[in-house]
Structure 1
Amino acid sequence: MRYSAIALAFLLVGCGTGTSSLPTITPAAPSVTGSPLPDLQPRLDAIGVLLVDCAARLRGEPVAPADNCTHVMPDVTGVIGEVEKQSAKLPPAGRAALAEVRRQLAEIGSCEPWFAAGGASADAQLDAKCKKAWDALFSGYSAVRNSA
């Protein structure tokens, strides 16, 4: 599954979405000392591409089961787990973002119906909860990626 996510990410990068208003996970400017986790950069970038692609699907329209963004969450969890093993190398902001991503991954687990509905449902509470969790996950992942 790990390598299929990376392959999918490269495929998605090649195809592009054609929409410039989508959020992106943009790498921070390289530091003088380099990345504290250089071995994880390719995976962090690949998962970032998958999350950006998910953002494009969250437009309030039902998505095909294969496009349900909950399928990406195990890959996010996996790479976050690898970063956690080396978290002592991260700056304090990166460690805080890592804790936030872990918290949001736990909260987003109940959002599969919301993802399947493309980021909207008939349940206003579910919509609010899942949108908040998604936004926090996306923002936190970007911060983790940039600190690593």
Structure 2
Amino acid sequence: MRRHFAVLAALTVLLTACDAETSVPTSAPSATATSASSSLPELRPKVDAIAVLLAACVPKLAGEPVDPIDNCANLMPDVAEVISEVEQQADPLAEAARTAIGEVRRQLAEIAPCEPWFAGGGRTDDGQLDFRCNQAWDSLSASYDALRDAL
């Protein structure tokens, strides 16, 4: 995860500079809320950093094979780690946030078999896998967004 946070600044600049259009997944995390308004202000920077990294994956899902280092599947353990940290401190959270945690966990399980789809940039020779993984990606993005909004 530290490697991902180290490249976060570079990705932010890259995302701003590259307004890539994609015909595969369409969801990307929403704008960052302030840490002061967060129920878990100490975790908000991590939650937001993962959201930026998830958004950075969208241009990589343009239907072309990606370098193994850029495979968005590599980010899923980091998503799970941050969700675990949030989950450990979920007691003071509103019901919407606790529900969103469960939904992100469910979506992580749904997207687990999608490594070949990620490696292919959001496209494989298996139309059913492409459909399932595109749906899983959109759902993961939406549920992570919901969690961020609920924090």
Counterparts of 1:61 and 1:78, CA distance in 2: 28
Aligned counterpart for 1:94 among listed residues 94, 97, 115:
97
TM-score normalised per structure 2: 0.87
Q: Is residue 65 of structure 2 the alignment partner of residue 66 of structure 1?
A: no
Aligned to 2:81: 78
Tell me how many residue pairs correspond in the alignment.
146
Q: Is residue 55 of structure 2 the alignment partner of residue 52 of structure 1?
A: yes
- Checking the alignment, whether the CA contact within 8 Å between 1:27 and 1:146 is kept in structure 2 is no
Q: How far off its partner does 1:7 sit?
A: 1.4
> What fraction of aligned residue pairs are identical, expressed as a percent?
47
- Checking the alignment, whether the CA contact within 8 Å between 1:47 and 1:76 is kept in structure 2 is yes
Amino acid at match of 1:95: R
- Structure 2: state its 5+ residue gaps: none
TM-score normalised per structure 1: 0.89
Amino acid at match of 2:13: G
Query: In terms of mean alpha carbon deviation, does 89-98 or 61-70 score higher?
Result: 89-98
Question: Per-residue displacement from partner, 1:68-105 (whole Å, max 9, x unpaired)?
Answer: 10011111010000011111222222222111110111
Question: Per-residue displacement from partner, 1:33-59 (whole Å, max 9, x unpaired)?
Answer: 821100011111111111001111111
Counterparts of 1:127 and 1:100, CA distance in 2: 21
- Structure 1: state its 5+ residue gaps: none
